[in-house]
Amino acid sequence: MYLCRLKHKLMDAHEKKQLLLDSRYLRMTRIWAENSYCRRRQVGALLVKDKMIISDGYNGTPSGFENVCEEDADHTKPYVLHAEANAITKVARSNNSSEGATLYITTSPCMECSKLIIQAGIRRVVFGEYYRMHDGVDLLCRANIEVIHLWERDGEFTPVTITVDNSETHYQEVAKSLILSK
Ligand SMILES: [Zn+2]
């Protein structure tokens, strides 16, 4: 298994501005997730390019299927699309291109969505919560996509850049300072 190392870097003015934008877009993904009719879990995604939202998505069944995500209390229907997949396939039907775009997601992407993210030419991924499985994020790191875990606590956002380091044998989460108020 590929392991990611988390590291903190010092921010300059440009990076702080980017952090402000990132935190706002991320908050928007949480609002967008409210569109999802899935009960077990609501996920939202926004695709941003040149400071424009070019696509959006939330988890749900494909077009034309009933708006019910769960087979029973514990199981999600196998054909439910994840928010990232919906955002990427939606842009494919538009005149926009996801090439070089940033994907904002409420939670870290799974392996299947990470494959799509790589193939869609997305260069940057910002997510709010770490999902229990890390293999998708590991794959993005291997594809040299910039991956940022932007975690929030009491309205303050802290960016943690995730990078691959082959020499690391364990997963280390480091989050020191550099907290920027919203
Ligand atoms: Zn997924």
Please check whether residue 30 is in contact with residue 106, taking contact to mean a CB–CB distance below 8 angstroms: yes
d(CA 120, ligand 1 centre) in Å: 14
Which is the catalytic residue, given 84, 152, 156, 173? 84
Is 84 one of the catalytic residues? yes
Sign for the CA dihedral angle at 90, 92, 96, 98 comes to positive
Please check whether residue 82 is in contact with residue 58, taking contact to mean a CB–CB distance below 8 angstroms: no
Please check whether residue 83 is in contact with residue 57, taking contact to mean a CB–CB distance below 8 angstroms: yes
Please check whether residue 137 is in contact with residue 147, taking contact to mean a CB–CB distance below 8 angstroms: yes
Please check whether residue 130 is in contact with residue 108, taking contact to mean a CB–CB distance below 8 angstroms: yes
Residue 138 has which token pair? 């590991």
Q: What pLDDT digit, counting tens, does each position of 2-60 carry?
A: 455 555 556 678 877 888 899 999 999 999 999 999 998 999 999 999 999 999 999 99
d(CA 14, ligand 1 centre) in Å: 31
Please check whether residue 179 is in contact with residue 165, taking contact to mean a CB–CB distance below 8 angstroms: no
d(CA 140, ligand 1 centre) in Å: 13
Question: Parallel, antiparallel, or unpaired: how do β-strands 146-153 and 124-129 relate?
Answer: parallel
d(CA 177, ligand 1 centre) in Å: 30
Q: What pLDDT digit, counting tens, does each position of 140-164 carry?
A: 988 999 998 888 888 788 888 887 6
